[in-house]
Amino acid sequence: MRFFVHLLIHSKKILYICLLFDIIEKYTKIMEKVDNLDRKILEIITLNARIPFKDVAVKCGVSRAAIHQRVQRLIEMGVIVGSGYHVNPKTLGYSTCTYIGITLEKGSLYKSVVNELNKIPEIVECHFTTGPYTMLTKVYARDNEHLMDLLNNKLQEIPGVIATETLISLEQSIRKEVPIIPEE
């Protein structure tokens, strides 16, 4: 029995390593297709998603059509995954920002738990993590009473969730996109 448990744990580690290599290979191929012009375009539009393509074209020294084609290609490749506006949660009454570490009974429940978490509108991010938690979520609540209700009556009621740990954010000091570095 001990041999099979060890074999199962070992097989799970190998599966995670194989999945990791597949992901790395996929994104390596994409990054090979992103050149310095793409990077310059990304740098400009991540600072201001509303900038007209004609202004981007002037800054990059190419035509507006070239910018449009490049942006479309970056969207199709999955490099650009969205654009839009950032809303200040406090102006809508969400004064409490928290990070909640969730421990699951077993990691294989991840997808079903994510489906349930997705039904809770106050959860704005969810990550499958290593470390002390199976998952880490970012949650906005109106106040501590609302947060307690979310924890006791929603998150902790999801089948497979065996523990939660809540960290309250006192202030967001940095918010930015990943750095866009030109290739050498």
SS3 135: strand
Half-sphere exposure of 15 (CA within 13 A, CB side): 7
Tokens of 180: 């866009």
pTM above 0.75, yes or no: no
The first and second tokens of residue 158, run together, are 């999801």
Structure token pair of residue 176 = 């930015």
pLDDT in tens, 15-25: 556 555 555 55
pLDDT 10s digits, 138-175: 999 999 999 999 999 999 999 999 999 999 999 999 98
pLDDT band at 7 (very low <50, low <70, confident <90, very high): very low
CATH number for the 2-76 domain, one of 3.40.50.720, 1.10.510.10, 1.10.10.10, 1.10.1740.10?
Answer: 1.10.10.10
**pLDDT band with cut points at 50, 70 and 90 for residue 5:** very low
Instruction: List pLDDT tens digits, range 54-102.
Output: 999 999 999 999 999 999 999 999 999 988 788 899 999 999 999 999 9
Assign 4 a pLDDT band (cuts: 50, 70, 90): very low
Looking at domain 89-169, which of 3.30.70.920, 3.30.70.260, 3.30.420.40, 3.40.309.10 is its CATH number? 3.30.70.920
Q: Are 129 and 135 contacting, i.e. CB atoms less than 8 angstroms apart?
A: yes
Confidence of residue 11 (pLDDT cuts 50, 70, 90): low
Q: Where are the domains of the chain?
A: 2-76, 89-169
